[in-house]
Amino acid sequence: MSVVDDMENQMPAKHHRGIGSRGGEQDGLGPSPRPVVPPLVYSEFGDDDELSPQWTSWLIPMFVVANVIVFFATMSVNNCPQHSQHCVATRQVPREILLRASPGQSSLRPIFSNVYVPSILTYYILPNHLNCVSTLVYDFNNRLEKLGSLDWFRVVEKHQAWRLLTCIWLHAGVIHLAINMLSIVFIGTRLEQQFGFVRIGVIYVMSGMGGSILSSLFIRSGISVGASGALFGLLGSMLSELLTNWTIYSNKIAAFLTLLFVIVINMGIGSLPYVDNFAHVGGFLTGFFLGFLLMARPQIKWLERQHMPQGRRLTSKYKPYQYILWLLSLALLIAGFLVALVLLFKGEDGNDHCHWCRYLSCIPTSRWSCDSV
């Protein structure tokens, strides 16, 4: 029996909550007749009520609604049905359809989304002109750019840094939107219930921006849209939350392996052509570090102040390794953002500093080439 168990057995059955709990009401009962006061009074954090949902999730649903509204606004602006004579129903999207002519440049550049675009059957499956003939692709991309898609030339040369944020609210089509939104609801709702809308909102937006910054550093030949950077940020925060709160979980190994499997599979999908895996990696790393900063749970539940020795001060509820992870994450997050932003707006190409990094976004095989990616 632990020291804490021994002490709690000698305490009255009905006692007021400890200092570390959310409540503070007292029932007027005095201390136990024979209190046993150990040198350091604490117990492992493990009560079911501490791990149960504490907030109602409303921000994540609002994010989903905002993405859907922006998507339908994009459909309205693109207005593909008026050009139905140019639209095609094909089982395979021609490669040139996924290319676009960039203003001021003669070469064709790919459209990057944050999710793989499978075979397209009709306009209703992927409505945003991605299945229209190439004569309309230029117009489609012009309108996406007007709505805020991520484009290195406009971000750096035109000083439109706001695109680093606006691009995460745009999507390339129904499949792209549906996969991202379902994943965000599945992951984000539970996180918001556990940690509140402020922390999850910060992780979502900052991760989206982190993914956009890394994408702009390494991809100059295309535009990028999608909320996958923010989604991967939520995944990254789940991993860091598990690590920093390791001692409070019972099935920690199974949870770790499952989460790692999901992350690896999604990163692997990101290595397909025309998927902006740099946004995935940047969002994941941002969320991973933010998880250490914002999701650490108290590992120590202090007992009543009246049972503490006279004159003894309450020490921290967090364990030393949590402070170390907090400081390292803060330093790496600030340094990463500063270095990436400086390199980006100086016009540096990330591929010049990391020659193998391009394989993070596309791995060439016998079925496709990554030359134009």
Q: What proportion of the chain, given as a percentage, has pLDDT over 70?
A: 63
Question: 130 or 298: whose pLDDT is higher?
Answer: 298
Across 122-131, 177-186, 363-372, least confident range: 122-131
Catalytic status, residue 57: no
Place of tokens 């600030």: 334
pLDDT at 322: 94
228 has catalytic annotation: yes
User: What is the pLDDT, as a whole number, of residue 75?
Assistant: 81
Which among 320, 328, 241 is positioned nearest to 288, based on CA atoms?
A: 241
pLDDT tens figures, 47-84: 445 556 688 999 999 999 999 999 988 888 766 555 44
The residue with greater pLDDT, 135 or 177, is 177
Pair 289, 329: CB distance under 8 Å:
yes
User: What is the pLDDT averaged over residues 224-243?
Assistant: 96
SS (H, E, C) the chain: CCHHHHHHHCCCCCCCCCCCCCCCCCCCCCCCCCCCCCCCCCEECCCHHHHCCCCCCCHHHHHHHHHHHHHHHHHHHHCHHHHHHHECCCCCCCHHHHEEECCCCCCEEEEEECCCCCCCCCCCCCCCCCCECHHHHHHHHHHHHHHCCEEHHHHHHCCCCCHHHHHHHCCCCHHHHHHHHHHHHHHHHHHHHHHCHHHHHHHHHHHHHHHHHHHHHHCCCCEEECCHHHHHHHHHHHHHHHHHCHHHCCCHHHHHHHHHHHHHHHHHHCCCCCECHHHHHHHHHHHHHHHHHHCCCCCEECCCHHHCCCCCCCCCCCCHHHHHHHHHHHHHHHHHHHHHHHHHHCCCCHHHHCCCHHHHCCCCCCCCCCCCC
Question: Per-residue confidence at 197, pLDDT binned at 50, 70, 90?
Answer: very high
Could you tell me what percent of the chain has a pLDDT over 90?
Answer: 46
> pLDDT tens-digit profile of 22-40?
343 444 444 444 444 333 3
Does the structure show a pLDDT above 90 at 325?
yes
Burial 64-85 (b: 16+ CB within 10 A, else e): beebeebbeebbeebebeebee
Of the ranges 6-20, 159-173, 281-295, which one carries the lowest mean pLDDT score?
6-20
Report the range out of 118-127, 270-279, 337-346 with the highest average pLDDT: 337-346
User: Any idea what the Cα angle at residue 187 is, between residues 186 and 193, rounded to 5°?
Assistant: 100
* pLDDT band of 145, cuts 50, 70, 90: confident
Q: Catalytic one among 129, 176, 280, 307?
A: 280
Q: What is the mean pLDDT of residues 96-109?
A: 34
Question: Higher-confidence residue: 158 or 90?
Answer: 158
Going along the chain from its start, the domains and CATH numbers come out as: 58-88+115-298+317-359 (1.20.1540.10)
User: What is the model's pLDDT at position 301?
Assistant: 54
CA-wise closest residue to 233 among 152, 292, 273, 299: 292
**Reported confidence tier of residue 368, pLDDT bands at 50, 70, 90:** confident
Over the stretch 332-346, which tens digit does the pLDDT of each residue have? 999 999 999 999 999
* The predicted structure's pLDDT at residue 78: 66
Is the model more confident about 214 or about 172?
A: 214
Lowest-confidence range among 137-141, 143-147, 190-194, 266-270?
137-141
**Residue 175, token pair as written in the block:** 């499949």
pTM: 0.73
Name which residue leads in pLDDT, 151 or 136: 151
* Confidence check: pLDDT of 19 > 90: no
* pLDDT surpassing 60 at residue 9: no
- Answer for the pair 150, 212: CB distance below 8 angstroms, yes or no: yes
Out of 212, 216, 228, 361, the active site residue is 228
Asked if residues 214 and 232 have their Cβ atoms less than 8 Å apart, the reply is no
The pLDDT assigned to 80 comes to: 53
Average pLDDT, integer, range 117-138:
35
